[in-house]
C-alpha cells in the first residue's frame, strides 16, 4: 500500500492553528477565512485518517495523534522552508559577526548555525557567546554586526523574535518545604538558596525583585559569570535559578511552587536594516528551533 503524501500547505495550516490557538486567529495569520481553515484541517484529518483536534464551541485542544503529528509537521515545514530559502534566496557573501546571549545557547545554537550555514554557504560566520548587555555594548562599538539577546521590559530597541515565560528551575530532588520557601539540603534554615549569574543579569534582577516583594527569605549561594556554570550548580542541588521555559536543560525541572516571574523577550539587535536578507531567515530559524523544542518537551 502506497503511503499518501502529506501536503505542506495543510501542515502549515495545522501548525498555525495550534500556535495561534484557534481557527479564526490562524485565518488572520494566513489570510484565509475561518471556513477555509476548517476545510484544510478536515482535508488533513481525512488524509491521515485521524483527528488532530478536539473541538468544542469554547475550546480547542490537540488530540494524542495531533501531538504526534505536530512535531513531524514542524520538522517538515522547517526542512521545506530551508530548501526554498536555499533555492530562491539571493546570493549573499561576506562576513557576519554574530553575538548570542548564553541563555539561548544550551538547546538552540548549534542546529540553527548549521542550518544557516547550509542556506548561506558563502557567509562566513563569527560567533561570540556572552551576556546580552555586554554583547550589545560590543555591537554599539562596531565589534559585532548583530546580537541575539534579551530585551528588558518596555524596551523598544531591536526586532522581537520570541516571548516566553520565565521559570524557576532546580534539580529533580530539590525540596521545597510545605508552605514556605526552599529548605537547604542539610535541613538547616528556611532560606531559599539561589544560583545566579553575576550582577546585571535581567533574570537575576527579576528573581530578586519577586522574592523581595513577596517577603521570601533568600540567599545567593553560588554566582558565576557563565550560565553553564550556574546550570551545573543547580543540577548539583546547590539551589534554584531562573531560566526561560524553552531553555530548560536535561537534569533540571521547572514550574516550582514559587512566585510567578513573568515573561522575557528575545530580540535581534544591530544594523538589521542593512542586513534584512540575513536577518529575516535567521529569525525564522530561531523561531522554528524554539517552537520545535517546546513541542518536543510538552509531548514528552
- Residue 103 pLDDT exceeds 90: no
Contacting residues for 283 by C-beta, under 8 A, at least 6 apart: 159, 161, 268
DSSP letter, residue 285: H
93-161+265-299: in CATH 1.10.3720.10: no
Sign of CA dihedral 126, 131, 134, 136: positive
Over residues 251-267, the pLDDT tens digits come to 899 888 899 998 888 88
CA distance 167 to 23: 29
Mean pLDDT of 222-244: 91
CATH topology of domain 8-87: Arc Repressor Mutant, subunit A (1.10.10)
Contacting residues for 161 by C-beta, under 8 A, at least 6 apart: 148, 266, 267, 268, 283, 286, 287
Burial class (CB in 10 A: 0-12, 13-18, 19+), 69: buried
Assess contact for 54 and 43: CB atoms under 8 A: no
Report residue 162's pLDDT band, with 50, 70 and 90 as the boundaries. confident
pLDDT > 70 fraction of the chain, expressed in percent and rounded: 88
Return the top range by mean pLDDT from 94-98, 106-110, 159-163, 187-191.
94-98
Domain pair 8-87 / 93-161+265-299, same fold: no
Q: Which three cell numbers stand for residue 229?
A: 556554570
Look at residue 206 in the predicted model and tell me its pLDDT. 92
Q: Where are the domains of the chain?
A: 8-87, 93-161+265-299, 165-264
> For the structural domain made of 165-264, what CATH number should be given?
3.40.190.10
- Residue 8 pLDDT exceeds 60: yes
Amino acid at each position: 500500500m502506497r503511503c499518501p503524501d502529506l501536503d505542506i500547505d495543510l501542515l502549515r495550516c495545522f501548525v498555525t492553528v495550534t500556535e495561534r490557538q484557534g481557527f479564526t486567529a490562524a485565518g488572520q495569520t494566513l489570510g484565509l477565512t475561518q471556513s477555509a481553515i476548517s476545510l484544510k484541517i478536515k482535508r488533513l484529518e481525512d488524509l491521515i485518517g485521524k483527528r488532530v483536534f478536539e473541538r468544542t464551541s469554547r475550546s480547542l485542544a490537540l488530540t494524542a495523534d495531533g501531538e504526534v503529528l505536530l512535531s513531524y509537521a514542524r520538522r517538515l515545514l522547517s526542512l521545506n522552508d530551508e530548501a526554498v530559502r536555499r533555492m530562491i534566496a539571493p546570493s549573499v557573501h561576506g562576513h557576519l559577526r554574530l553575538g548570542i546571549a548564553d541563555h539561548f545557547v544550551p538547546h538552540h545554537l548549534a542546529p540553527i548555525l548549521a542550518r544557516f550555514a547550509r542556506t548561506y554557504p558563502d557567509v562566513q560566520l563569527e560567533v561570540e557567546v556572552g551576556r546580552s548587555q555586554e554583547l550589545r555594548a560590543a555591537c554599539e562599538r562596531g565589534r559585532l554586526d548583530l546580537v541575539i539577546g534579551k530585551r528588558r521590559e518596555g524596551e523598544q530597541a531591536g526586532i522581537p523574535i520570541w516571548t516566553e515565560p520565565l521559570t524557576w528551575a532546580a534539580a529533580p530532588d530539590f525540596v521545597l518545604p510545605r508552605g514556605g520557601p526552599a529548605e537547604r539540603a542539610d535541613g538547616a534554615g528556611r532560606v531559599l538558596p539561589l544560583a545566579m549569574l553575576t550582577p546585571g543579569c535581567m533574570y537575576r534582577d527579576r528573581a530578586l525583585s519577586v522574592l523581595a516583594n513577596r517577603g521570601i527569605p533568600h540567599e545567593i549561594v553560588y554566582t558565576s559569570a557563565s550560565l553553564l556554570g550556574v546550570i551545573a550548580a543547580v543540577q548539583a542541588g546547590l539551589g534554584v535559578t531562573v531560566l526561560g521555559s524553552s531553555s530548560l536543560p536535561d537534569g533540571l525541572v521547572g514550574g516550582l511552587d514559587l512566585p510567578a516571574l513573568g515573561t522575557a523577550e528575545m530580540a535581534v539587535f544591530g544594523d538589521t536594516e542593512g542586513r534584512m536578507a540575513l536577518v529575516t531567515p535567521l529569525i525564522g530559524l530561531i523561531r522554528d528551533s524554539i517552537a520545535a523544542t517546546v513541542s518536543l518537551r510538552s509531548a514528552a
